[in-house]
Amino acid sequence: MTNRQALLIADSTFQRMGVVPGILEAIIVQGSDTEAYKNLPALKETLNKTRAKFADVTKELVLEHERQIALNGGRVSMFMEDELQLQKKLNLKTDMCIQ
């Protein structure tokens, strides 16, 4: 059992609201307009219609989240500020293996 799995089981058992952190789906697109779409399915629909390029990075993001939990003593917050200051910037290609 990984650290993350143990954390999720503990959270689902002991957390009052019965919710656990998780990544359902993640994509990466070129641009910076984050408020034009209400949700990910709407964005993906538009990208498919316009044939704009995007990449599904769910697997890589989940793996990075696992790595962050292991490095940060079980804290589930991804990209902790103190950790990022030590490592400077996170590189999508070399650190997260996103091509």
pLDDT band at 49 (very low <50, low <70, confident <90, very high): very high
Write 69-74 long-range contacts (CB < 8 A, 24+): 69/3, 69/4, 69/7, 70/3, 74/3, 74/7
pLDDT for position 69: 77
21 Cβ neighbours under 8 A, 6+ residues apart: 8, 11, 76
Which alpha helices (H) appear in 15-57, and where do they start and end? 40-50
State percent of the chain over pLDDT 90: 3
**Segment 42-49 mean pLDDT:** 90
Per-residue pLDDT reduced to its tens digit, 77-93 = 776 666 556 665 666 67
